[in-house]
Structure 1
Amino acid sequence: MTSTHKAYCPPGNLTEYLPDPREPIDRWFQARNASNVRTTVRIVRDLCPTADLFVDPLAGGGSSACAARLLGLPFFGVELDPLLACVCLAKSAAEFDHVRAVPPRVSPDQPLASCLSVTRRLSEGTEHPVSEHEMLADLVAGPCATTGSHVLWGDATQAEIWDELHVQARHAVLYTSPPFDLSSPRPQALPGLRAEAELALAAAKAARSGIGPGAFASYDQIASAVVLRAAYRLQRLTVILEHEPADDGSDSRAPTIRRLTDKLGSRLRDVRILECGAYSRRGLFSLIVCEVAQ
């Protein structure tokens, strides 16, 4: 399928590209390769204004979960790293009372509060550690969690994870940032915190089969695999994939579109490549956008 290329904004500058360390809720922990929450919100409102479900199968540190909160959309997220899955769950579902109940260590009776505990301690190793007071202030000022949101710890390229997608959506948006290269960073944590994250996720019933190292090595393989899984579960889907060249300069946009075209055929429509600007050493940041219909 032929794709169209055109210039697009946002992000229109480095500030709109990088995560904002002052953003309520999102500031609890931001991965080094995170997206700017407000820019994600603007993009979704522009490209998929009728969305009634936000899906991110490579949810990372939960910037998309925060964007879904701001948009008032239910969120379905999947993340392979247990530390990031805890952060994503906390950002997606936490409310004021959960912070007040945060235990010093993981408690099976308080799974969401335990995820908040993991998140707070994970932030201690960053430039912007978050306090309990700041968490409370963010939840007072920020948007409420959206009913029906669900975050899972597992591999979104595997079918079992998607069996947990029970939300009936008329028009879902899948917005995600597949790893641009195998060197994409993973969080560093104090000894024992990763194991506590796994316990918290199990208590929250967020752990699912398919947990492992992931079976796909390249951007186009990962991106096409998660989009295909979503396409089998959802009737109407707008796909928005962030893309930057890999460390070796290779461009995965055409291979990704080719894989999706081969598998989805006539279901794949209106394929676009929206080019924004160069904001990192990798080069041009762009969005691969397409529609998937029944």
Structure 2
Amino acid sequence: MQIALDLLVWMLMLALSGKAADENSLSAVIRSFGSFVVLFLRSNGYLHRGGHPDRFGSGGGADFVMPVPEAYGLPGSLTDYLPDPFEPVDRWFQARNASNVRTTVRIVQDLCPGADLFVDPLAGGGSSACAARLLGVSFFGLELDPVLACVSLAKSTATARHARADPLWRVTPDQDDPVASCLDVTRRLSAGTDRPVSRADMLDDLERNAPAPTLPLVLWADATQPDVWDELHAEARHAVLYTSPPFGLSSPRPQASPELYADAVTALASAEAARAESGPAKFASYEELAADVVVNAARRLGHVTAVLEHEPADDGSDARESTVRLLLDSLGNRVKSLRILECGAYSRRGMFSLIVCEVVP
């Protein structure tokens, strides 16, 4: 402290001396003094790199400093980055931008060991649901596209019994099985891909893979709406939120026929999983969507490790800094251990990164 005071006195004397008489020199002294103050606050625990203040401020102001990206080895290759077309259950349908299930499992085990709840508020084609099955933890998924919501529900919930049952549009109302119906939607969606699956393929996968240890919950819902999160009743000690917000308008969406879309809505209604009335209407920015879902999860849960996949947008712009700013502005002192992990460039978009932070009560 004494050294800091001596340096402060020296700077003031310099500012008043002839050495700082001209305007440019005086401005330089003032800038140096400002830098010294920030350095002093950081070194004494008042201000952390990454723009997160422990004792004052909102975190997104003039003192904001972006965390320095760190090299990270997962995924460490193109094979680890792309979805595995032979992965049981996940192979039923894989979007072009889907994550590799086994890589997701390794990332979760590395960054948040001991997590007992897997949350994906942008569940898409269900790669996270498959990762939760492999991890043996509960799964909570939200998806605004009803066809993809069916896929995620099927991947997270189905057992061999469901694969043997008929969808509800082939049976009488008292025999309907909504999970079997979601399986049928998934099978028909896969028919339009270069790797279609049959009911026999699904049954084989499910007979060889244990079901989730607890009943998962997948909803057709808008994850940016806080009220849908109230349906998350799991008593989690430590949840991991792992998701991949759309990187841009060109992020692929499934091409479903009107009939398949209608059957997906029917199946979700039968499963009492419908909380929306339509699919995606417009594209929200990456940072707004990412911040909304993390904030909603933090409101409902206690300790959350958030892991957000990121790649540059269609125009090459990078949303990492704006996402970090929004998270800090929205959650303040609840955000800890903020990191940017750079994994490698595996697509035309450029660097694949993970934005990682702890959100505490």
Q: TM-score, normalised to structure 2's length?
A: 0.79
Instruction: Find the partner of 2:287 among 217, 220, 228.
Output: 220
The amino acid of 2:290's aligned partner reads A
Q: CA deviation at 1:103?
A: 3.0
Contact residue 157 and residue 226 of structure 1 kept, 8 A = yes
Cα distance in structure 2, aligned partners of 1:81 and 1:209: 9
**Quick check: 1:22 aligned with 2:86?**
yes
Cα distance in structure 2, aligned partners of 1:212 and 1:31: 17
Contact residue 248 and residue 313 of structure 2 kept, 8 A = yes
- C-alpha deviations, 1:123-166, integer Å up to 9, x for none? 00001000111111111112322313100001100012111111
Cα distance in structure 2, aligned partners of 1:213 and 1:20: 27
Contact residue 221 and residue 256 of structure 1 kept, 8 A = yes
Cα distance in structure 1, aligned partners of 2:333 and 2:294: 15
Alignment-derived partner of residue 116 in structure 2: 52
Instruction: Find the partner of 1:203 among 270, 294, 297.
Output: 270
The amino acid of 1:226's aligned partner reads V
Alignment CA distance shift 1:137-1:244 (3 Å): same
Alignment-derived partner of residue 277 in structure 1: 344
Instruction: Find the partner of 1:65 among 97, 114, 129.
Output: 129
Alignment CA distance shift 1:210-1:176 (3 Å): farther
Cα distance in structure 2, aligned partners of 1:170 and 1:279: 34
Contact residue 168 and residue 177 of structure 2 kept, 8 A = no
Cα distance in structure 1, aligned partners of 2:285 and 2:304: 23
Q: CA deviation at 1:210?
A: 7.2
Q: CA deviation at 1:212?
A: 5.1
| SS of residue in 2 equivalent to 1:241 | strand
Comparing 251-260 with 214-223, which one deviates more in the overlay? 214-223
Cα distance in structure 2, aligned partners of 1:32 and 1:209: 25
Cα distance in structure 1, aligned partners of 2:288 and 2:160: 40
Alignment-derived partner of residue 258 in structure 1: 325
- C-alpha deviations, 1:155-209, integer Å up to 9, x for none? 1000121111111111000000000002211111234000000000000011014
Q: Which has the larger radius of gyration?
A: 2
Instruction: Find the partner of 1:75 among 120, 133, 139.
Output: 139
The amino acid of 1:251's aligned partner reads D
Alignment-derived partner of residue 148 in structure 1: 215
Contact residue 99 and residue 113 of structure 1 kept, 8 A = yes
Instruction: Find the partner of 2:148 among 69, 84, 104.
Output: 84
Alignment-derived partner of residue 194 in structure 2: 127
Alignment-derived partner of residue 10 in structure 2: none
Contact residue 129 and residue 155 of structure 2 kept, 8 A = yes
Cα distance in structure 1, aligned partners of 2:345 and 2:307: 18
Cα distance in structure 2, aligned partners of 1:279 and 1:59: 22
Alignment-derived partner of residue 6 in structure 1: 70
Unaligned runs of 5+ in 2: 1-50, 52-64
Highest RCO, 1 vs 2 (Cα 8 Å, sep ≥ 6): 1
Contact residue 241 and residue 306 of structure 2 kept, 8 A = yes
CA RMSD between the two structures: 1.5
Contact residue 243 and residue 287 of structure 1 kept, 8 A = yes
Cα distance in structure 1, aligned partners of 2:90 and 2:217: 17
Structure number with higher helix proportion:
2
Contact residue 143 and residue 223 of structure 2 kept, 8 A = yes
Contact residue 33 and residue 184 of structure 1 kept, 8 A = yes
* Alignment: residue pair count: 294
Instruction: Find the partner of 1:172 among 239, 244, 263.
Output: 239
Q: TM-score, normalised to structure 1's length?
A: 0.97
Contact residue 106 and residue 114 of structure 1 kept, 8 A = no
Instruction: Give the 5 Å matches for 1:26-37.
Output: 26-37=90-101
Unaligned runs of 5+ in 1: none
Alignment CA distance shift 1:272-1:265 (3 Å): same
Alignment CA distance shift 1:170-1:216 (3 Å): farther
Alignment-derived partner of residue 185 in structure 2: 118
Q: CA deviation at 1:225?
A: 0.4
- C-alpha deviations, 1:40-87, integer Å up to 9, x for none? 000000000110000000000000000000000100000010100000
Once the two structures are aligned, what percentage of the paired residues are identical?
67
Cα distance in structure 1, aligned partners of 2:196 and 2:322: 39
Contact residue 61 and residue 85 of structure 1 kept, 8 A = yes
The amino acid of 1:125's aligned partner reads G
Q: CA deviation at 1:276?
A: 0.4
